[in-house]
Amino acid sequence: MTVTAVRKQAETFTMTLEAEFDAPADRVWQLWADPRQLERWWGPPTYPATVDAHDLRPGGRVEYHMTGPEGDQPRGYWEVARVDPPRSLAFRDGFANEDGTPNTGLPATESRVTIEEIGGGRTRMSIESIFPSAEAMEQVLAMGMEEGLKQAVGQIDAILAENSIARA
C-alpha cells in the first residue's frame, strides 16, 4: 500500500492524498520534472499521455494530450504557479481546445504537491486537489456555514447508511 491517507473535505471541495515511496525525494521529483516519466503515469493505460510542452517554472506551461482507444485525443494543460525542486509544486490543471488554448468552459483544478523525506530512504508525497466551487463556495463563505456544511456531509452519510441498510 503506497497510498497512506486520503482526506476528502466535501465542504471545501478538497481532496488530499498522501503516498509513500521507497525512494529519495529527488527520485520522486523526477516523476514530475521529467516529461518522459510524467507521461508514463499521468494518463490511465488506455488513455496514455504525451507531453507536448514542459516548462516547469512559475508562469510556465505543461501541455499534453492523451490518446484514447478510438483515436480521440483530449488535451490538457498545467499553468505552473510555484516550483521548489524537489520539495513542492503548485499548478492549475485544465482542459484545452484542439489548438492547445485553455478551454475555459471546463473547470480547472488547483493542485499542490508536497514532497518530503521521512527517513529510512522513504519519501512522502502529498497532493492536494481543490475542486472548482464557484457559486457554492461563495455562498458557503458568505453565510458562514462551513461548519454547517460539514454536518450536512455527515448527514448525507447517515442517510446513505440508512438506505443501504434498508436495501440489504
Partner 1 sequence: MDGIGRTFASDWRGSGGLAWQWGPRIPDLTATGYNRMVVSMQTIVRDFDGTFAALADATRRDIVRRAIAGEEGVSELAEHYPMSFAAVQKHVAVLERAGLVSKERIGRRKVVRTNREGLHMARRLLDQYEELWRGRIARMTDLITETEETDA
Are the C-beta atoms of 113 and 129 separated by less than 8 Å? Answer: no
Give yes or no for a cis peptide into 48 (omega within 30° of 0).
Answer: no
Does the protein bind partner 1 through residue 97 (CB under 8 A)?
A: no
> Where are any strands of DSSP class E within the chain?
3-9, 14-21, 49-54, 61-66, 75-84, 88-96, 109-119, 122-130
Concatenating the DSSP letter of every residue in 9-39 gives: ETTTTEEEEEEEESS-HHHHHHHHH-HHHHH
CB-nearer residue toward partner 1: 118 or 160: 160
CB-nearer residue toward partner 1: 59 or 69: 69
In the list 26, 28, 110, 124, the residue contacting partner 1 (rule: CB under 8 A) is 28
CB-nearer residue toward partner 1: 6 or 118: 6
Does the protein bind partner 1 through residue 46 (CB under 8 A)?
A: yes
Are the C-beta atoms of 153 and 10 separated by less than 8 Å? Answer: yes
Does the protein bind partner 1 through residue 131 (CB under 8 A)?
A: yes
Residues of the shown chain interacting with partner 1 in the complex, contacts defined by CB under 8 A: 2-3, 6, 8, 10-11, 13, 15, 17, 19, 21-23, 27-28, 31, 37, 40-47, 66, 68-69, 72, 74, 95, 105-107, 127, 129, 131-136, 139-140, 143, 145, 148-149, 151-157, 159-164, 167
